[in-house]
Amino acid sequence: MAGGGGGRRLCSGVLESLDDCFTGFLIVVLEWYEQVRRRLLPLLRRQKMALLTAPVVAAVLLLTWAAYGEADYVLYKDATKPVEARVSDLLARMTPAEKIGQMTQIERQVASPQVLKDYFIGSLLSGGGSVPRKQATAAEWVNMVSDFQKASLSTRLGIPMIYGIDAVHGHNNVYGATIFPHNVGLGATRDPNLVKRIGAATALEVRATGIQYAFAPCIAVCRDPRWGRCYESYSEDHRIVQAMTELIPGLQGDVPPGFTSGMPYVAGKNNVAACAKHFVGDGGTQNGINENNTIIDRQGLMNIHMPAYLNALQKGVSTVMISYSSWNGIKMHANHDLITRFLKDRLNFKGFAISDWEGIDRITSPPGANYPYSVQASILAGIDMIMVPNNYQSFISILTSHVNNGIIPMSRIDDAVTRILRVKFTMGLFENPMPDSTMADQLGKKEHRDLAREAVRKSLVLLKNGKTSDKPLLPLSKKAPKILVAGSHADNLGYQCGGWTIEWQGDTGHITVGTTILDAVKAAVDPSTTVVFAENPDAAFVKNGGFSYAIVVVGEHPYTETRGDSLNLTIPEPGPSTVTTVCGAVPCATVLISGRPVVVQPFLGAMDALVAAWLPGTEGQGVTDVLFGDYGFTGKLPRTWFKSVDQLPMNYGDAHYDPLFPLGFGLTTQPRTY
């Protein structure tokens, strides 16, 4: 309600009621009335005019105020001005309540237009599976985001909100989106340009739903496959992870010449803000336990887990998400040394640091045991935006109290808000705050599915081909009279995509639009070939079926985060039984769907061929492209494949390195000529 520039702020408290604001308004009106009366009356007496009545003075006052408002230049709304000048101007106009609102990110399920207006909320997000409705269209997403954005724009200063989502292998929350291979598969491609193109396609699909911020990429260096998030890591080798930070310019656009490392950058409204995560050391926890303690000296942390962040900053990553994990016993969400002194001061990161989902709650054990302390510790550590995501009223109230009581200085709040506004101005959010409904056709478009198919075939790693090297099984014949397709994962799109797909933990069945491996086999073979599918056939059926060969597709069931932690890394039944039964009766190619190396040595001898297909996503034809020889196998292991879990952790270069298949292993084949 206040005018711009040096005008007195009418609602300058932290959480004033509307009555307080109105009272302030009346006070200012009366003050202005008295000033005008004192100045005009002597003048009017000298001119022998009648005394002005109160209504006339009020009219003059209102006209004067209106003219003042029109003449007041609002710098932060001027797109021709430098970003830093716009940030400073807007920050100077903000109340503490508006600043704290900008630091607050809440789940769409607890949000409403009124909540955004009342609390000046700076950011919304969709957690895994949080959607406007099941199988919502792009238009429905756009309408939802638009309603929220209109509310933000209707506030006193009109600061647009930024909407974030976990688009970690494509726009994976959204029905009908293209689902690309998870990061472990992309690491197997060794193709940074491919990853960059995937980033650009993902950005278009995210923007098609009105969303401007992707919580990607995960640049963890997974050092133990027992970790439930290992498939979110490109490799155990930081150099491969560094190369794959090309996802960032794919999402955000290429930084311009002379770019200053550490500044945030988003090229335009077809791009999205990216998020390097999870800072730092999340892939090195003890025994691969999610959110656990990473025990390593500073040199080790810097040499293994930090390098990809330097690449991310050089490429203009806009945000950095803090890890749930600890480093040598200190929770990363409370680590001032690494967040402020190293990331911000030493590396010159000028974007904003964001917490993980209820990440600050986990500073204490049990989580949330002392929430006021968690708020204090995380903000003072240097986190700028808190992914609350639900109890925003409590968070805002506590942070407000900490500021009012001097526990958290206003300078720390101003730093956080400066960073958030810098990202919003840089990405053009003030000029283009509303979703573009004309982009709906980008969601799941053919060109993106073709790109995903390319990524699948480049990600496949051939671990075995033939009982002996001189008798390869692959590529398979498309003209075999009768073939068997078996296994729990052959006709299950949810299993094929893995976690972080439609639901947080993933799901089973035909959960979105895509092509299963069984569908792909049927489409690939000659019309004369009979394809028989039996998920878990018995030995007699296989022996007596007259099959030329079998394709067995088995693997892990979907999981995410802690639910994926595994100390044994075994394939769940009936996968092993299916492999044993089928491969014991006919020549078989086993396609393994998993987020990491798993125990295969006991059945390796029975298989004629073994393909590590990772979690390939929606485009199953990428698998058959290579199985049938339209393309050759080129993928290389992004991780060491162990013989036994007793060897873990075991990474390339370790003294006890004795793998079943080493990092970088992968047999190759030549495309079949027809």
For 90-123, the three-class secondary structure string (H helix, E strand, C coil) is: HHHHCCHHHHHHHCEEEEHHHCCHHHHHHHCCCE
Could you give the C-alpha distances from 88 to 77, 99, 103, 209, 425, in angstroms and in order? 12, 13, 16, 31, 11
Residues 6+ apart with CB under 8 A from 600: 463, 571, 592, 610, 641, 660
Helices (H), 253-306: 298-300
Q: Residue 556: helix, strand or coil by DSSP?
A: coil
356 annotated active-site? yes
DSSP at 615: -
* Annotation marks residue 503 as catalytic: no
Which residues are registered as beta bridge partners of 385?
354
Query: Any idea what the Cα angle at residue 402 is, between residues 396 and 405, rounded to 5°?
Result: 135
Contacts of 487 (CB under 8 A, 6+ apart): 535, 536, 552, 553, 554, 575, 578, 579, 591
Residue 133 main-chain phi, psi, to 5 deg = -165, 165
C-alpha dihedral (309, 665, 617, 279), degrees to nearest 10? -20
Which residue among 205, 224, 291, 356 is the active-site one?
A: 356
Closest alpha carbon to 350 in 382, 373, 393: 382
Contact 499, 505 (CB under 8 A): yes
Tokens 């003294």, residue located = 655
The size of the chain, in residues, is 674
Q: Is the dihedral of CA 484, 487, 488, 492 positive or negative?
A: negative
The sign of the torsion formed by the CA atoms of 595, 598, 600, 601 equals: positive
The SS3 call for residue 148 is helix
Q: Looking at 561, 608, 619, 625, which residue is catalytic?
A: 561
Distance CA 65, CA 600 (A): 78
Rg (CA), the chain: 29
Continuous H helices in 47-175 = 54-71, 83-93, 96-102, 113-119, 138-153
Active-site amino acid positions: 356, 561
